[in-house]
Amino acid sequence: MKIGYVWEAVFIFALLSFATPDTTRAQVSVINLTGDVIDGVAVSDSGVDTPFGEDVIGGFLEGTFFRRSLNSDDFGSGSGGFRDLYRVQDGSTATDPQDGYNRSVFDDVSIPGGFDPYLTVQELTPSVEGDSYVFAFDTHESTGGNSRYVSLDEFRIYVGTDTDPATLPSTVADLGTLGTLVYDMNATSTSYVLIDSSLFAGSGQMDFFAFVPQAVFTGFSDTSYVYVYTSWGQYSFDASGRTSGFDTSATPEQVASGIQAYPSYAAVPEPSGAMLLTIAGIFWALRRPKRR
């Protein structure tokens, strides 16, 4: 076999390796936003510091950056920095998770006075960097003992038309009737975000943020409805001697959209296509016949 063909085979293999999903990767992804090592998972330090010298604790799930709130975050006048969408509150068990979306159809969902669940694309708030939209989560677990912990197990975003479906879905299986699923933190693996409510206790002191790439909303009209679905409390702490389900029976978790911009401190990852183009360029450069 000629040397040139060997190089061609090597780079074709490399191209296929980057283009094909790695089915051997770990099937569980955990972002640990607590202050403790949980079941051997260290706190997820992004390696980035803010201009104020604070560690940015967070990481990526399916292209969305989740980070813990920072002391330097400006929360305005309490919850005034956020548009509250809904709360979920229920006893979380393996067969009955604490979940719902920004319509009061699921039994766990409440929309207290002043909450406005009708969120549209044009009402989303960009991050300071301008590459993502800001969503915020306020957990209300008891701040004493192990009950201060809670897990975010599902975070999905659907985009529909400028009217609700004639019959709003009341089960997870029917959520697709809301519209197009544009983000799912569990798209390729089972994922969890672990939170310690005692770190930012109090209503309006958001515990963590999700910075969702603006690109996932491309092609939808400004008046399209945005549906945010969350599920909580399913991560088991048995290996750490903590209570499975985080004691979520009596405390609500609140989901909000940003009103004022917040920085993620982490750029949204570039598409893997950039890597493909780089490899392709090297491949064609080596393949090109040399002058004698």
pLDDT tens, per residue, the chain with 292 residues: 454 544 444 334 443 443 444 443 458 899 999 988 988 899 999 999 999 899 999 999 999 999 999 988 876 544 557 899 999 987 666 677 889 999 999 999 999 998 999 999 999 999 999 999 999 998 866 555 566 788 899 999 999 999 999 999 999 999 999 999 999 999 999 999 998 877 865 555 678 999 999 999 999 999 999 999 999 988 876 544 444 344 444 578 899 998 888 999 987 665 443 333 333 343 334 344 444 3
For residue 149, the model assigns a pLDDT of: 83
pLDDT at residue 270 in the model: 53
CA 262/CA 283 separation, integer angstroms = 42
Q: What is the pLDDT of residue 86?
A: 96
Strand-pair partners of 82: 258
Q: What b/e readout covers 102-129, taking b as 16+ CB neighbours within 10 angstroms?
A: bbeebebbebeeebebebebeebbebee
Cα–Cα distance for residue pair 168/158, rounded to 1 Å? 13
For position 199, what pLDDT does the model report? 81
According to the model, what pLDDT value does residue 64 have?
A: 97
Q: In the prediction, which pLDDT does 9 show?
A: 45
Q: Closest Cα to residue 98, out of 244, 253, 242?
A: 253
pTM given for the model: 0.80
